[in-house]
Structures are given as structure tokens and as C-alpha cells.
Chains A and B, each alone.
Chain A
Amino acid sequence: GAVVSQHPSRVICKSGTSVKIECRSLDFQATTMFWYRQFPKQSLMLMATSNEGSKATYEQGVEKDKFLINHASLTLSTLTVTSAHPEDSSFYICSANSLESYEQYFGPGTRLTVT
């Protein structure tokens, strides 16, 4: 199946700093990617839809100025958590579809810890 990678897999940062997470589709092109967040022992919540070449669409309650999304190419989307706070500590997962399949592939996730 198609492969989606994320980098880094784990990151620890200090409160007030910014962190960038990359999501790449390795063997297919994705005009749309999705960013999810998962808190411990909870389900996944969609944060935003990342569209190649245009602005991201954010879900209700997600601050667009805090979670900056850039989808600069058909294989790369980035999520930047700005001015991180301890409550932003979570597991961030991206996903993407290939153009030929309804299958939605998830990246391995990035565990963010803000101290």
C-alpha cells in the first residue's frame, strides 16, 4: 500500500517555542492531506484539511493562527504549532489519499511534549 511518513516521530519543546511537523506521501501524490490530533486513550479528532496550493480549512475550535498548515507540493504538508503550551502536548497524525483510491493512509504520528 501507499506510504505516508512523518518527521519527527517525537519532539520535546519548551513552552512558548514553535515546532514544525512534516507529512510526506512517499510514493503517490496527494492534493489533499488531513491533520488529526489524538489525546491519550481518546479517539482521533480532525484538526484541518490541507489543500495543495491553497489555504487550509480548519475545523471548528481549531485556531488557525496557532496551528499553521502549509501544503507546498503534492507530496508535502507541514503543521507548525506556534507558541506551544503544555496543553498542546498530543499525538499528531496526518493522512492522505492517493488520487486513485478511497483508501486513506495514515502517517506514523508525531508525539509532541511541551514542557
Chain B
Amino acid sequence: ELKVEQNPLFLSMQEGKNYTIYCNYSTTSDRLYWYRQDPGKSLESLFVLLSNGAVKQEGRLMASLDTKARLSTLHITAAVHDLSATYFCAVGHWGSGTASKLTFGTGTRLQVTL
């Protein structure tokens, strides 16, 4: 059974600081997704990582994938309050073409304070 663990579960950080969220998964996969969820809302896609060593960056967020270690990271640079949300990683498995069943991590609730 595929297990996806995220840590930390909760992160309170000051504006301007850097931090990393970790996502470990238990079985081989070549599809790793990061999503953002605001309270009461659905998921917003941040990144799709499809190969070992993949790195993607968008604004203050950067995601990487190490398939050998079964680890993905989401790095936050110089956090701002607007980044406060819950972040989920999800591992894709059972591929039918481009479609994947996703197993989600527990989520990391990020709170950026002034």
C-alpha cells in the first residue's frame, strides 16, 4: 500500500524566512504533484514533477524530486503572508495515459506571520 508522509504537519514562520516541506513516499512513482488549498476551497495545482532530479520554480516556491530517495521537497523562499495555506503533495500511480490515481500526503498547514 502506497503511503505518503509530509512533514511538518503545521508550520508557523515569519515573513522573510525560508523553509522546506518534505514529502516521503513508500513505493516507486514517477509522478509527484504539489497543490495548494485555501480554507473552504479546492486544490490549486502548483507543480508536476515527472522525472528524477526534476526541479521547478514559481515565484517564491521551488519543488524538487528525488525518485531514488522517494522524496520531494517544496522550498519556500522569503515567505510572505499570501503564502499562508495548506500544501499537499500527491503521488501518482496507476497510469492510464496521462491520468493518475493520486495518493495525497497529510498536508502541511503553513501560517506566515508578520
Contacts and interface: CB of A to CB of B under 8 A. Distances in A.
B101 A49 contact: yes
B49 to A, nearest CB: 10
A106 B42 contact: yes
B45 interface: yes
A21 interface: no
A16 B98 CA distance: 38
Interface of A: 1, 30-32, 34, 42-46, 49, 93, 95-109
Interface of B: 31, 33, 35, 41-45, 48, 50, 88, 90, 92, 94, 96-107
B105 A103 contact: no
Contacts, number: 68
Contacts of B50: 102
Interface of chain B: mostly helix, strand, loop or mixed: strand
A102 B45 contact: no
Given A93-B42, A106-B43, A107-B42, A44 B99 contact: no
Contacts of B105: 43
A102 B43 contact: no
A102 B54 CA distance: 14
Nearest to A111: B40
Contacts of B88: 43-44
A94 B45 CA distance: 14
Contacts of A49: 94, 101
A99 B103 contact: no
B101 A100 contact: no
Contacts of A46: 101-103
